[in-house]
A and B are shown apart, each in its own frame.
Chain A
């Protein structure tokens, strides 16, 4: 095993919930902060993070989320307080949970998705969208924010990822 530092990361964002998108954004930004080259590849529902009309309205998935009690301390309740998964389906619960989390993130200086994508791009991070997913959702490049550098096929993705550590989120 060598201890050679990581020079480049290639991060795949495949999920479109708030909690599905942030880990990839934080890791890409963190890489740039450390002087590591970073590329983000958004595929399937992850493309929502790049869509002009969707990116700042992503939601926490509360239905079927067996760990929602983790968020209870944000409401001043104990972390062990049960949150039955069926409650996640009550109208408004996902929107409420999302708004609580967004407020907390703002306090922690974690930018909203749109601003975060711009920040990573300005920091030299590369932003790519997946061609197959674009075709599947009938999306055009114009539907996406201008930070998107290009739309890649799987082959292009591997070519751009040369020498990188690939991280799937």
Chain B
């Protein structure tokens, strides 16, 4: 599996750039990945989503569906798409350092 140097960090990622080991993750890595994904700064709202995704992933082994994410994080669908333009579930998962979401919803 490829290693990727991002900022001052070297992380293991899959072919699409999702981190393989979420324990390597930290906020600075999140910021660096976000910048590569075209999100200049991570606001509190971004971090609310990212933290919720990490919590779900660590508890359940898979990231939440968008429906669960919006219902339980308090970030509504419209805002979610505005925060992570061009594919919220994938982008947020990548920034959160978790695997690519497996669900269809």
Contact = CB atoms under 8 A, between A and B. Distances in A.
Nearest to B79: A122
B100 to A, nearest CB: 11
A62 interface: no
A77 B85 CA distance: 44
A34 B103 CA distance: 12
A26 interface: yes
Interface string A18-61: 00000000100110111100000000000000000000000000
A1 interface: no
Contact of A33 (B76, B78, B85, B90): B90
Interface string A84-111: 0000000000000000000000001111
A108 B104 CA distance: 10
B77 A33 contact: no
Interface string A119-136: 100111000000000000
A111 B70 CA distance: 12
B103 A109 contact: yes
B105 interface: yes
A61 B77 CA distance: 31
Contacts of B78: 122-123
A108 B103 CA distance: 9
Given A29-B105, A124-B81, A109 B90 contact: no
A123 B105 contact: no
Given A35-B86, A109-B65, A111-B67, A119 B77 contact: yes
B105 A108 contact: yes
A60 B77 CA distance: 28
B17 interface: no
Nearest 7 CB-CB pairs, A to B?
A: A35-B86, A122-B77, A35-B87, A109-B65, A122-B78, A33-B89, A34-B87
Interface of A: 26, 29-30, 32-35, 108-111, 119, 122-124
Interface of B: 65-68, 70, 76-78, 81, 85-90, 103-105
14 contacts: A29-B105, A30-B104, A32-B81, A33-B87, A33-B88, A33-B90, A34-B87, A35-B85, A35-B87, A110-B105, A111-B67, A119-B70, A122-B81, A124-B81
